[in-house]
């Protein structure tokens, strides 16, 4: 592994060329544009394309894959996934993708503050086929999250019944009582939600990097499940105390993996995106803070 910027210096004539390439979206890791020259990378996963569309990584939508049937796009944090009432002037993934691709239809959604991979259909037939895979739980979806506290070494399988309104206006898990639930209108009944979570890395400042695989895909599912198990996502605005919300510049949740069967050919396809620039920089800052603490302790002991 090597620093991305150092690797670029072996490919480009000068340091200023490397900086320009990073800032303008010409450098990608695993197909995803990045401006973070400080991240450690496998050189085999790095590409430099001078003809790539000029974008600002972390601000603009990027197309990771496209064919005549569907596309995989990289959504920046802060961009709506689909148009929202009263926010017509704000860009959204479907609108931006339609301008790039000619036609774009949603298959699933990401929260506004979540970054990462998102699936977009280009034909009605492809959309129907992809939604059928999604409904049958045949699309692989994984997220990376920076969470508060030390996540256990043993993976967790979290299964709950999620309710749209748990009583305080927020979504949450409830104990389902069949007789009681039968009296609710269908749209108010709890639905099963299943998340598989595993620890990727323990970080200083009582933070863990966690990977979550969705078995179901309910609204806010990962955020709720992690918070209810005592591991709220850093930057969480709804399901965690204020101190957790202030621990990151944004919701520290990232859509990292999409795996599916091609809607026309049946070919198995998979995309694996590295951690978003903002979250990767936060991760390194946490690691550096731990090193500084260790050095300070050594000096005191000496």
- What is the chain's percent helix, strand, coil content, to nearest 5? 30, 30, 40
The residues carrying an active-site annotation are 111
Contact 40, 1 (CB under 8 A): yes
Of 236, 204, 241, 199, nearest in space to 220 by CA: 236
- Partners of residue 160 on adjacent β-strands: 193
Phi first, then psi: give them for residue 253, nearest 5 degrees: -130, 135
- Maximum alpha-carbon separation in the chain: 71
> What is the three-class DSSP state of 205?
coil
Contact 279, 252 (CB under 8 A): yes
d(CA 227, CA 83): 28
């Amino acid at each position: 592994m090597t620093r991305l910027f150092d690797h670029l210096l072996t490919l480009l004539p000068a340091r200023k060329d490397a900086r320009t390439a990073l800032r303008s979206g010409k450098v990608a890791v695993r197909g995803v544009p990045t401006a973070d020259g400080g991240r450690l990378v496998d050189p085999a996963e790095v590409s430099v394309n001078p003809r790539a569309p000029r974008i600002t990584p972390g601000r603009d939508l990027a197309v990771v894959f496209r064919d005549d049937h569907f596309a995989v796009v990289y959504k920046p944090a802060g961009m709506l996934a689909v148009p929202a009432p009263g926010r017509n002037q704000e860009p959204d993934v479907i609108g931006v993708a339609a301008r790039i691709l000619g036609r774009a239809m949603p298959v699933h959604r990401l929260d506004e503050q979540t970054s990462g991979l998102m699936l977009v259909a280009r034909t009605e037939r492809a959309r129907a086929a992809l939604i059928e895979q999604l409904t049958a739980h045949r699309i692989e979806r994984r997220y990376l999250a920076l969470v508060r506290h030390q996540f256990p070494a043993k993976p967790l399988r979290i299964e709950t019944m999620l309710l749209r309104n748990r009583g305080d206006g927020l979504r949450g898990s409830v104990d389902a009582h069949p007789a009681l639930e039968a009296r609710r209108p269908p749209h108010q009944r709890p639905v099963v939600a299943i998340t598989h979570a595993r620890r990727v890395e323990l970080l200083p400042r009582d933070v863990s990097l966690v990977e979550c695989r969705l078995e179901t895909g309910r609204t806010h599912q990962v955020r709720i499940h992690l918070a209810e198990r005592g591991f709220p996502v850093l930057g969480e605005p709804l399901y965690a105390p204020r101190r957790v919300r202030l621990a990151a510049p944004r919701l520290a949740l990232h859509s990292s993996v999409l795996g599916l069967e091609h809607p026309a050919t049946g070919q198995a396809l998979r995309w694996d995106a590295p951690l978003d620039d903002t979250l990767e920089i936060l991760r390194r800052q946490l690691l550096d803070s731990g090193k500084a603490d260790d050095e300070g302790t050594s000096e005191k002991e000496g």
